[in-house]
Amino acid sequence: MNDFGCSYLYKEVIMNLRRPRGTRDYLPAEMCVRRRIFERIREVFESYGYGEVQTPAFEHLELLEAKAGEEVKEQIYWFKDKAGRKLGLRFELTTSIARVVASNPVMPKPIRFYYIQPVWRYEEPQRGRLREFYHAGIELIGVKSPSADAEVIAVTCRSLKNCGLEDIKVKVNDRRIVETLLREFGISEANIETGLRILDKLEKRGRDFVIKELSKVGVSSEHGSKLIEILGSKGSNEEKLEKIEKCVKDWPEGVSGSRNLRMIIEELYDGYGFSEDTIDIDFSIVRGLAYYTGFVFEVKAERSLDIGSVAGGGRYDNLIGLIGGRDMPATGMAIGVERLIEALRNTGNTDLNEYRISEVIVIPLGDKCKVEAIKVAETLRDEGIPTVLDVTGRRISSALEYADKMKIRYAIIVGEREIREGKYTLKNLEKWEERKLSLKEILEGIIRGKL
C-alpha cells in the first residue's frame, strides 16, 4: 500500500461492483433471448383474450403477508418508508392483482389479466432459483367453473410450447383432497395449513422428514406413512381417481375436490386434446402459498427435473374477499421465466443462440464521407433494416473485425469513389463476398434475402 491508501480504495471499488447475491445482469445477447420469450408468451396470452396489467413493485406489507404462509413471509424483502409505513417487494403478483380487483369491483366479469414482471424472494440462491426473477402469468377472475382451471392449464402449456418447450408434464391435484386426508388421519383444523406446508416439502426433503414433521402436529408415524403412500398412488389417472374417491367418500370437501379434478381432466382431454402423457394426477402437489383453496398444478420440464417447476398455479377463491373486496372465485398461474430459459437450453434449443446486434454496418472512409454514410444508414433504417453506423473513425479492417465479432451480416463501405459512382462496396461477412451495388439494389437484395 502507498502513502495515499490506494490499495484500500481499489478494494472498496471492487467490492461495490459486485451484484447483490441471487441477482443477474443481462447483456444484449441474453436480453434478446428474454425479449423473444416474453413476446412468445405474450402472443399466447393475448390470443386467449387476456389483457396486460402492471402493478407496483412494492405493496403494503400486511397485504403481502395476508395469505402468504409462514415460510414465504420470511422470504419477503421489506422496509419502512420515511413515514414509517411497512412496505414489501412483491414475491408474486397474484396478491397485487387481487388488490386491483378488490378496489375495482365493477369491472365486467370474468376478468382476464396477464403480466410479465419481476418479483423478489429472499431464498438461498441455487440452480433454477434466484432472489430476483420474472413471472409471466395470468389470472382468470369471477368464474367458479372447472372450465376456468382447464383454460389456465391450456394457456400455460401453449405458452411453453410456443417458446419451444415440448417435453412437459402437468401434475394436477385438488388441495381439498389432501386436507380431507389430513383430517382423516387425525390432524386438528388449526394445523391443516401447517400440514400442507410440510407435505409441500415431500419432494425436496423426503419421506422421513415429512413423517417426522407431521408427528409434531398430531399425525402418528403410522398414519404419516399411510398418508404418503396414498399421496404417491400409482397407475392411470382414472385408477388414481377411483382410489382417492373411495378414501374421501365420507368427507364432502374431499368428494368435491375429487369430482372437480375429474371434470377438469375430462375437459382437458376432450376439449383441449391433452393426453395422459401430459396430464398426471399427483396428490402430493399442494403448492406452498396459503391462499390456494382447491385445484392446484405444477408443470415440470422432463429433461430438467432438477430445476423444479417451470410453471404452477391454482385456485384461490377466498383471497379477494380476505383482503377487503367482494368474495370472488379466481384461478391463475405463473411461469418462471428464468427456469423456462434454462429448461430450453437443456433441450439444445438453438433458437436461443440466434442473436445479432444489427444486420448491417455502414463504414465511412474518412470525415468527408460521414454525411453520406449517415444518409445511407438512415435509408436502411427507414426500410426496417437494423443498421449500425461506425462512428469511431478506425481503420476499415478494425471495423470489419468488430462486425464479425458482433455477427453482423453485411458491411457497406462508403468512400469518396463510391459516392461519385453512386455504387457502394457491399461485403457479405458470412460468405466473404464483395460486390458494388447501388443503394436501391442493396435494399432490394437485403429485404429479399438474395445477397
Average pLDDT over residues 389-409: 95
Residue-wise pLDDT for 343-394, tens only, equals 999 888 767 777 788 999 999 999 999 999 999 999 999 999 999 999 999 9
Share of the chain above pLDDT 70, in %: 96
Could you tell me if 263 and 148 are in contact, meaning their C-beta atoms sit under 8 angstroms apart? no
| DSSP alpha helix (H) spans, 271-324 | 319-322
For residue 396, pLDDT over 60 is answered with yes
Higher-pLDDT residue of 307, 333: 333
One-letter identity of residue 258: S
Q: Round the average pLDDT of the chain to a whole number and report it.
A: 92
Cβ neighbors of 264 (< 8 A, separation 6 or more) are 146, 149, 150, 153, 172, 295
DSSP character at residue 306 = G
Q: What is the pLDDT of residue 15?
A: 60
Alpha carbons 207 and 199: distance in angstroms, whole number: 9
Please give the average per-residue pLDDT across 3-10, as a whole number. Answer: 54
Tell how strand 86-89 and strand 387-389 pair up: unpaired
Q: What share of the chain is helix, strand, coil (3-state, %, to 5)?
A: 45, 20, 35
10, pLDDT greater than 70: no
- Say yes or no to pLDDT of 408 above 90: yes
Write the pLDDT tens digit of every residue in 120-161.
999 988 888 899 999 999 999 999 999 999 999 999 999 999
Residue 204: predicted pLDDT: 81
Average pLDDT rounded to a whole number, residues 22-29: 93
Enumerate the domain spans of the chain.
Answer: 28-351, 360-448
Q: Which amino acid is at 368?
A: K
| pLDDT number for residue 7 | 54
Q: Fold for domain 360-448?
A: Rossmann fold (3.40.50)
**pLDDT at residue 5 in the model:** 52
- Is the sign of the CA dihedral 243, 246, 247, 252 positive or negative? positive
DSSP 427: E
Report the pLDDT value the prediction gives residue 1, as an integer from 0 to 100: 52
Query: What are the distances in angstroms from CA 276 to CA 238, 246, 312?
Result: 10, 22, 18
Q: Is residue 299 predicted with pLDDT exceeding 90?
A: yes
Higher pLDDT, 409 or 449: 409
| Predicted confidence band of residue 215 (pLDDT cuts 50, 70, 90) | confident
For residue 265, is pLDDT > 70? yes
The architecture in CATH of the region 28-351 reads 2-Layer Sandwich (3.30)
The dihedral of CA 33, 38, 44, 46: what is its sign? negative
Query: Cell digits for 24?
Result: 443477474
pLDDT value for 423: 95
Q: Report pLDDT for 219.
A: 84
